[in-house]
Chain A
C-alpha cells in the first residue's frame, strides 16, 4: 500500500500517492494543465515548459512534470507570473508553426488550438520569415510527418526509444532548425501510436488523413477484436462510416497503446460490401433476396451451426437458449495462430477475441467446443443438412478458412452468417445472412487474462437487428 499525501493545487486539495508525478496527480484529479511533452506512458522530458508551477517556499518556477507529490505542498499555476509565462511559451510554440489548421487533420483535437483558446495572445507580433522544414514526409507504417507543424515535444522519439525500443526516430540539428527525422522508415507494429501521442498535426495517419474533420466524429468506447489481448479502444465514426480506431487507456490490458493490426479492425464495418439483408448466390453473383426463401429451404433439414470465436458472451448464451432441447449440431471454429505467440508488448498470436467466452458457453450448454467436435460435424455433412457458418469478422489466414468451407460443400443448404460479402470463398455459400459487427452490438468478451471487456454499439451500417440467436430460432420449425 503506497503512502498517500495531500497537497494543494490552486487551492484545491488533492490526494495522491507519495512521490508520484505532480502533473499526473493534477490531471487525474480533473485539473486542466496545459502540457505537450508529458505523457503518462513515457519518460519525462520537461521541454515544452507549459506545465510550469510555483510552489510556496521554492524560489523559482519549475515544470510540474518533473516534480513529485509531497505532503502539504502548495502549488499554483494560476498566478499572474505563471499565466504570463504560459502565454509567452505558447507564443514561442506557435512562432514557426505554419498555422495551416484548415488543411490539418489534427484540427479539432490539437493541443495548440486547445491552449490557444485559453492562453493565446491573439495579437501577432510575428512579421518575420518562418523557419521552413520538410513537409510531406512518408516515414513508413502509414505515418506522415510534417516537420513544420512539429513542436519538438519529443514524445515520438521517446516512444520509439522506450516503448518499441526500435529507435527509428531522432531529432536532428539544433535550435529552431531542429527537426524530427527517421534514420530508416518506421518498422515497428505500433507506429500508429505516434499519431495519437503527437499533440499537434506533425504526425498524421495516412489511413485517416483528409477523410473526416474530427468534430464530425463520435467515439464509441469498445474493445479490439484483433486478437485475444482485447485492448480497450475507441472507434471514431459518423453516419458516413467508421474512420479510425484509437486506443483508450486501460491499465489492466493495454495501458496507453495498441498495435497497428488493431487499427484496421474498423474497415469492414462500413465497407462497400456490408450486408443490408439476405442475399442469394446466383451463379457467383449475390443478389438481394427475401430471407423467407432461405427460411423455407431450411425447413425439414438438419441444422448445423459452426460458430466463430468473435461473438459476445450474451450472444452465445442466447443462441444456446434458443436451441435448447432441439436437435441441432453446434461446433466452434477456432482461428489458427498467426505470427509469434506474443510480441512482448500487446499483439498475441491467438487471434480469437472471445475464445474463453465461447468455450465456457459451449460447456455451460453441454456442447463440445473442441476441434474433434468440429471434425465430427464436418465429416457427417450430407445433402440433407442446412449448415450455418458464422464467418469470423477478421480472417488473417484465408487458406485455413477455405479448408473449412471446402468441407461443408456437400451440405444441401450452405448459409454464411456474416457482416458482409468479404472473401472470394464466400461464393461457395448459397445464402448470406446479415449479423452485426463488433461496434454494432452490446456485450462482453473475455480476453487472454480472463478479464471481461465490453463491446459497445454505435451507429449501424447494415442489417443489425438479427444476430446468431435469431437464426437459431429456425431450428425444428
Chain B
C-alpha cells in the first residue's frame, strides 16, 4: 500500500504494510500485543484516563469523546457487562473498518482486550455487517489464534481477568449500525433502536451495562496506550486530536482508504492522496462524511479542513470520514434520489416521522415519474425534511433529512430542473 510518495505511517495503519500481518505470529513479531501485556500491569482507571486525555473521539460518526463515554460506564468490576464493537459499517461511502479488519484483525482484538481490561467487561462481541463475510472469517481466525495464545478466555496471561470475544454477523440492515439497534439485533430481536434514556452504558445488551465503540476507535487504543495521549495529540487540532481513516470513493483517480491526521485539508486528500479528480474533470461537489452528511460545493470542498469543528462550521459533518467526490458529470438530482432511496429502504419503520417521511421524500423527488412534478416540490421536500429532524428515537431521520436539506441549499436550481425534466425515452 506504500505506493504514495506522501504516505506516512501513523497509528492505525502502521502494521498494514507488513505482509501476512493478519497472522498473530507476524503481528507479534512486529510488536503487536506488547501494549496489551503492558496494560495488564496498569490500573484500569489509569487507562481510561489516558484515553480521555488523548481526546479520541468516537469514529463511528457522532464524534463523541470515547474517554468521556467510558466515564459513564459502571466502575463495579464484578458486575456483568459487555463490550460491543460496532463493525456494522453500512453508511454509504464508508469502508474504512472493513479495510482495517481485513488486513489487520489483531489490532482490533488487542484494542478490545485493553478496553475490556480498562472497563472490566467479561464478554465482548464484534457485531459485523452481514455482507462482510470474508472479514468475519478473518476475525474468527484471528480470535481463535488469540485464544490459543491465552490472550482471550479465562485468566488471561495469569492476571485473573476473563474476557471472551465473539463475532456476530448482522443481516445487512443499516439501522443495526445504530448502537441500540445493534443491541436489539444482538438480543435476537428485530433491529430497531431503543428509546434513550436509558443509555446502553447503563442498560444495554440484555438490560446490562454495555459499551459500544466503533472499530476504528477501539483499534486506536493500542497506539494511544503505547505512545501516550500526548503523542496522539501531536496530530490534529485541540478538539479533534489524532489521525483518522478516510474512505474516499467517487470520481477520483485513486479511491481507497487513507490515514491522515485530522485537520488535513480536503484539497490535499483529493489531490495528493487520491491523485486528483478523474480524467482531469472539474470538481463539482464533495460529500465529506458519508451519505448522511450535507454536501459541499466545489468552493467549500477546496478550503475545508477535515476535522470535526471545521466541517461542522461549514455546515456539514465529518461523520464516519467517508468522502464521496463528485465531478462535473454528475447530476445532483440523481445523487439525491439515490440517497433517498437508500434511507427509505433502511428506515426501521418504528417512528412515524421517519417511517413515512423517508418514503414520502423519495416519492416527492420522483413525482415526474407519475407526471405531477412541480418546481415547488423542492420547497415541499425541504419542509418535509425539516419536520423530520430531531423527532425520532435514533438519528436515521436526521441522516435522511440533512443531506436533503444540504443538497437543496447548495444545488436548488439544479434540483428544480431535475424534478421537472422528464427524460426522453
Quote the shortest CB–CB distance from B123 to chain A (angstroms).
Answer: 26
* Docked pose: A380 CA to B339 CA in angstroms: 88
Contact pick for A176, options B347, B367, B391, CB 8 Å? B347
Q: Report yes or no: A129 in contact with B353, Cβ–Cβ below 8 A.
A: no
Q: Report yes or no: B344 in contact with A46, Cβ–Cβ below 8 A.
A: no
Q: Report yes or no: B355 in contact with A152, Cβ–Cβ below 8 A.
A: yes
Given A60-B390, A85-B387, A176-B358 contact (CB < 8 Å): yes
Q: Report yes or no: A47 in contact with B352, Cβ–Cβ below 8 A.
A: yes
Q: What per-residue 1/0 map shows which CB atoms of B353-372 lie under 8 Å from chain A?
A: 10111111001100100101
Q: Report yes or no: A49 in contact with B345, Cβ–Cβ below 8 A.
A: no
Determine the chain A residues whose CB is within 8 A of the CB of B358 once the complex forms.
175-176
Quote the shortest CB–CB distance from A22 to chain B (angstroms).
Answer: 13
* Docked pose: A220 CA to B357 CA in angstroms: 42
Determine the chain B residues whose CB is within 8 A of the CB of A45 once the complex forms.
195, 350
Q: Report yes or no: A89 in contact with B349, Cβ–Cβ below 8 A.
A: no
Interface flag for A136 (CB, 8 Å): no
Interface size class of A (residues with CB under 8 A): 35 or more
Pick the interface stretch among A90-98, A276-284, A327-335: A90-98
Interface flag for A52 (CB, 8 Å): yes
Q: What per-residue 1/0 map shows which CB atoms of B305-330 lie under 8 Å from chain A?
A: 00000000000000000000000000
Q: Report yes or no: B393 in contact with A176, Cβ–Cβ below 8 A.
A: no
* Docked pose: A177 CA to B344 CA in angstroms: 10
Determine the chain A residues whose CB is within 8 A of the CB of B357 once the complex forms.
92
Secondary structure at the B interface, as helix, strand, loop or mixed, is helix
Q: Report yes or no: B344 in contact with A175, Cβ–Cβ below 8 A.
A: yes
Residue of A nearest to B196 (CB): A66
How many B residues have CB within 8 A of the partner chain? 33
Q: Report yes or no: A174 in contact with B346, Cβ–Cβ below 8 A.
A: yes
Given A125-B380, A131-B359, A175-B346 contact (CB < 8 Å): yes
Interface flag for B348 (CB, 8 Å): yes
Q: Report yes or no: B349 in contact with A174, Cβ–Cβ below 8 A.
A: yes
Q: Report yes or no: A128 in contact with B347, Cβ–Cβ below 8 A.
A: no
Interface flag for A412 (CB, 8 Å): no
Determine the chain A residues whose CB is within 8 A of the CB of B390 once the complex forms.
60-61
Q: Report yes or no: A129 in contact with B349, Cβ–Cβ below 8 A.
A: no
Q: Report yes or no: A66 in contact with B380, Cβ–Cβ below 8 A.
A: no
Interface flag for A253 (CB, 8 Å): no
Q: Report yes or no: A176 in contact with B359, Cβ–Cβ below 8 A.
A: yes
Interface flag for A117 (CB, 8 Å): no
* Docked pose: A273 CA to B173 CA in angstroms: 59
Q: Which of A44, A52, A91, A128 has the most CB of B within 10 A?
A: A128
Residue of A nearest to B387 (CB): A88
Q: Report yes or no: B347 in contact with A127, Cβ–Cβ below 8 A.
A: no
Contact pick for A152, options B190, B349, B388, CB 8 Å? B349
Interface flag for A48 (CB, 8 Å): yes
Q: Report yes or no: A128 in contact with B364, Cβ–Cβ below 8 A.
A: yes
Q: Report yes or no: A175 in contact with B345, Cβ–Cβ below 8 A.
A: yes
**In the complex, chain A residues 160-177 whose Cβ is within 8 Å of any chain B Cβ:** 170-171, 173-177
Interface flag for A178 (CB, 8 Å): yes
Determine the chain B residues whose CB is within 8 A of the CB of A60 once the complex forms.
390
Given A49-B351, A171-B349, A84-B387 contact (CB < 8 Å): yes
Interface flag for A151 (CB, 8 Å): yes
Determine the chain A residues whose CB is within 8 A of the CB of B372 once the complex forms.
127-128
* Docked pose: A15 CA to B147 CA in angstroms: 57
Contact pick for B391, options A89, A125, A171, CB 8 Å? A89
Q: Report yes or no: A52 in contact with B370, Cβ–Cβ below 8 A.
A: no
Interface flag for B264 (CB, 8 Å): no
Interface flag for B392 (CB, 8 Å): yes
* Docked pose: A152 CA to B370 CA in angstroms: 28
Q: Report yes or no: B392 in contact with A49, Cβ–Cβ below 8 A.
A: yes
Contact pick for A92, options B197, B345, B353, CB 8 Å? B353
Contact pick for B350, options A44, A47, A93, A170, CB 8 Å? A47
Q: Report yes or no: B355 in contact with A128, Cβ–Cβ below 8 A.
A: no
Q: Report yes or no: A48 in contact with B352, Cβ–Cβ below 8 A.
A: yes
Given A46-B393, A92-B352, A93-B352, A174-B173 contact (CB < 8 Å): yes
Q: Report yes or no: B351 in contact with A178, Cβ–Cβ below 8 A.
A: no
* Docked pose: A237 CA to B388 CA in angstroms: 43
Q: What per-residue 1/0 map shows which CB atoms of B35-49 lie under 8 Å from chain A?
A: 000000000000000
Q: Report yes or no: A49 in contact with B352, Cβ–Cβ below 8 A.
A: yes
Residue of A nearest to B347 (CB): A175
* Docked pose: A44 CA to B347 CA in angstroms: 20
Residue of B nearest to A85 (CB): B391
Q: Report yes or no: A127 in contact with B367, Cβ–Cβ below 8 A.
A: yes
Quote the shortest CB–CB distance from A92 to chain B (angstroms).
Answer: 4
Q: Report yes or no: A178 in contact with B355, Cβ–Cβ below 8 A.
A: yes
Quote the shortest CB–CB distance from B399 to chain A (angstroms).
Answer: 13
Q: What per-residue 1/0 map shows which CB atoms of B275-302 lie under 8 Å from chain A?
A: 0000000000000000000000000000
Q: What per-residue 1/0 map shows which CB atoms of B384-404 lie under 8 Å from chain A?
A: 000110111100000000000
Determine the chain A residues whose CB is within 8 A of the CB of B175 once the complex forms.
174
Residue of B nearest to A43 (CB): B195
Quote the shortest CB–CB distance from B349 to chain A (angstroms).
Answer: 3
Q: Which of A52, A91, A151 has the most CB of B within 10 A?
A: A91
* Docked pose: A49 CA to B363 CA in angstroms: 22
Given contacts A93-B352, A173-B349, 11 further A-B contacts (CB under 8 A): A47-B352, A85-B387, A92-B353, A92-B387, A95-B356, A128-B360, A128-B367, A129-B370, A151-B352, A176-B358, A178-B349
Q: Which chain B residues have a beta carbon within 8 Å of chain A's beta carbons?
A: 173, 175, 190, 195, 197, 344-353, 355-360, 363-364, 367, 370, 372, 380, 387-388, 390-393
Nearest 6 A/B pairs, CB to CB: A88-B387, A178-B349, A176-B359, A175-B347, A92-B356, A128-B363
